[in-house]
């Protein structure tokens, strides 16, 4: 039987089989035969040991489409990056860093601004405009008022998606709405049991419906810019590309050169100033990074 690993905990793998549910499996022999450890997200073949107790053994790991690190997970089709539209204020520099990382790994991203009810219609439009040209769809949700959920479901349909974003933005709350049986622990609950700020501690995949899965991950508060030359950064700001042919200098960094097509587009309001500002900040960061 073929299924998908939802999580692995100390040598046990929880494998979801579409027709029959979740099996608790060991992975005897797999490592020896394939020289690899099963990962969350792996498609595997299992042999059932006991149907009534829903136990089995992972016999084979099917070829991986991709592999992400931190969190370690295989076969992700899309990253859903969730930020709060407000409370906490979205850190757009952090969002840009995330987008760059994902593009480097050729991972498609959908941006979701949750807590949309905290913004006026006009503010939402303003926020969406910043990312209009970035190559990623932007959607808005409110887990609190169950708004935008149909659009979110459509974006996830048939995919295995990793939800990520800072702590407290509502990742677990949204997943609980998508799959009420998931019972992800949310900030509301952890406040009652007086834990620290971060509520979700483990990585696991949750089956939503059909062939849709979503992974809840612990929130992050900072991201190190991946190693690259500062000259490479502009390729991650997709909205710059169409204006580059108008730059006078080849290899223009769009920062201090004269006759720059990108800066002209910025002045004409065709490139968003917030994206450009973050480009400049990240460029400076790469420039000052120590080279070994
Ligand atoms: N106003 C408002 N609050 C929300 C919304 N969605 C979630 N919250 C609240 O935001 C807080 C954090 O929600 P969580 O779902 O735990 O956030 P998380 O992203 O999973 O956080 P970590 O697990 O720490 O990474 C909770 O108090 C939620 O009730 C929303 O749409 N609007
Ligand atoms: Mg959480
Ligand atoms: Zn330029």
Check which CATH number belongs to the domain holding 42 and give it.
2.40.50.140
- 221 inside domain: no
Using a CB cutoff of 5 Å, list residues around ligand 3, an ion: 247, 252, 254, 260, 262
Q: What percentage of residues in the chain have a pLDDT greater than 90? A: 78
- 28 inside domain: yes
Give me the mean pLDDT over the 224-249 stretch.
96
- 137 inside domain: yes
DSSP codes, 50-85: ETTTTEEEEEEEPPPS-EETTTTEE---EEEEEEES
Report the binding-site residues: 165-173, 247, 252, 254, 260
Do 150 and 278 reside in the same domain of the chain?
no
CA 4 to chain centre: 19
- 192 inside domain: no
Do 152 and 261 reside in the same domain of the chain?
no
**Domain of 100: which CATH number?**
3.40.50.300
* Probe residue for ligand 1, chosen from 112, 187, 203, 221 as the CB with the greatest number of ligand atoms within 8 Å: 187
Give me the mean pLDDT over the 20-28 stretch.
93
- Residue 196 — very low, low, confident or very high, per pLDDT cuts 50/70/90? very low
Do 110 and 210 reside in the same domain of the chain?
yes
Do 117 and 159 reside in the same domain of the chain?
yes
Residues contacting residue 105 through CB under 8 Å, at least 6 positions apart? 66, 68
Do 142 and 248 reside in the same domain of the chain?
no
Give me the mean pLDDT over the 199-215 stretch.
83
* Alpha-carbon span 190 to 53, nearest angstrom: 32
CA of 116 to the centre of ligand 2 (A): 18
Residues contacting residue 129 through CB under 8 Å, at least 6 positions apart? 272
* Phi, psi dihedrals of residue 275, rounded to the nearest 5°: -65, -40
Give me the mean pLDDT over the 36-50 stretch.
95
Distance between start and end Cα atoms, the chain: 50
* Alpha-carbon span 112 to 80, nearest angstrom: 7
Q: Give me the chain's average pLDDT, please.
A: 91
- 36 inside domain: yes
Residues with CB under 6 A from ligand 1: 114-115, 117-118, 142-144, 167-173, 186-188, 198-200, 218-219
* Alpha-carbon span 43 to 97, nearest angstrom: 30
Going by C-alpha positions, the residue among 60, 65, 22 that lies closest to residue 41 is: 65
Answer whether residue 17 shows pLDDT above 80: yes
Do 110 and 212 reside in the same domain of the chain?
yes
Report the binding-site residues for GTP: 165-173
Its pTM stands at 0.91
- 142 inside domain: yes
Answer whether residue 194 shows pLDDT above 50: no
- Residue 188 — very low, low, confident or very high, per pLDDT cuts 50/70/90? low
- 188 inside domain: no
Report the binding-site residues for Zn(2+): 247, 252, 254, 260
**Domain of 261: which CATH number?**
1.10.40.50
Do 10 and 130 reside in the same domain of the chain?
no
- 174 inside domain: yes
CA of 228 to the centre of ligand 3 (A): 19
More confident residue, 251 or 201: 251
Looking at residue 185, its pLDDT comes to 61
Looking at residue 82, its pLDDT comes to 97
Looking at residue 191, its pLDDT comes to 47
Say which range, 28-37, 41-50, 189-198, 215-224, has the weakest mean pLDDT: 189-198
Looking at residue 292, its pLDDT comes to 59
Which ligand is in closest contact with the Cα of 271?
3
pLDDT in tens, 56-110: 999 999 999 999 877 789 999 999 999 999 999 999 999 999 999 999 999 999 9
Helix axes 273-288, 92-104, angle to 10 degrees: 70
pLDDT in tens, 125-180: 999 999 999 999 999 999 999 999 999 999 999 999 999 999 899 998 999 999 87
Last residue of a domain, one of 11, 30, 63: 63
Give me the mean pLDDT over the 181-185 stretch.
68
Give me the mean pLDDT over the 104-122 stretch.
97
How many separate domains does the chain show? 3
Do 93 and 144 reside in the same domain of the chain?
yes
Say which range, 12-16, 164-168, 181-185, has the weakest mean pLDDT: 181-185
Domain that holds residue 51: 2-63
Do 93 and 209 reside in the same domain of the chain?
yes
Do 80 and 35 reside in the same domain of the chain?
no
Do 80 and 59 reside in the same domain of the chain?
no
Looking at residue 282, its pLDDT comes to 97
Looking at residue 193, its pLDDT comes to 44
CA of 197 to the centre of ligand 1 (A): 11
Do 55 and 115 reside in the same domain of the chain?
no
* Alpha-carbon span 254 to 26, nearest angstrom: 54
């Amino acid at each position: 039987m073929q299924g998908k690993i939802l999580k692995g905990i100390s040598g046990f793998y929880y494998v979801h089989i579409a027709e029959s549910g979740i099996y608790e499996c060991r992975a005897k022999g797999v490592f020896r035969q394939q020289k690899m450890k099963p990962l969350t997200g792996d498609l595997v073949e299992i042999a059932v040991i006991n149907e009534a107790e829903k136990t089995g053994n992972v016999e084979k790991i099917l070829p991986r489409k991709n592999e992400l690190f931190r969190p370690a997970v295989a076969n992700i089709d899309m990253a859903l990056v969730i930020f709060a539209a407000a409370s906490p204020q979205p850190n757009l520099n952090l969002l840009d860093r995330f987008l760059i990382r994902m593009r480097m790994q050729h991972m498609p991203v959908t941006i979701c601004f949750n807590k949309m009810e905290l913004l006026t219609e006009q503010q939402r439009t303003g926020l969406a405009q910043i990312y209009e040209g970035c190559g990623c769809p932007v959607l808005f949700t409110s887990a609190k008022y169950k708004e935008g959920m149909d659009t979110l479901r459509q974006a996830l349909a048939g995919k295995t998606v990793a939800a990520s974003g800072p702590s407290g933005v509502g990742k677990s709350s949204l997943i609980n709405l998508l799959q009420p049986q998931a019972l992800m622990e949310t900030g509301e609950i952890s406040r009652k049991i007086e834990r620290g700020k971060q509520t979700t501690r483990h990585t696991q995949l949750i089956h939503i419906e059909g062939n849709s899965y979503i992974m809840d991950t612990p929130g992050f508060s900072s991201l190190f810019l991946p190693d690259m030359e500062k000259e490479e950064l502009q390729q991650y700001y997709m909205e710059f590309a169409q204006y580059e042919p108008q730059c006078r200098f080849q290899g223009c960094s769009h920062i201090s050169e004269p006759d720059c097509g990108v800066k002209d587009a910025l002045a004409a309001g065709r490139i968003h100033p917030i994206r450009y500002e973050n480009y400049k900040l990240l460029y400076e960061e790469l420039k000052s990074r120590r080279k070994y």
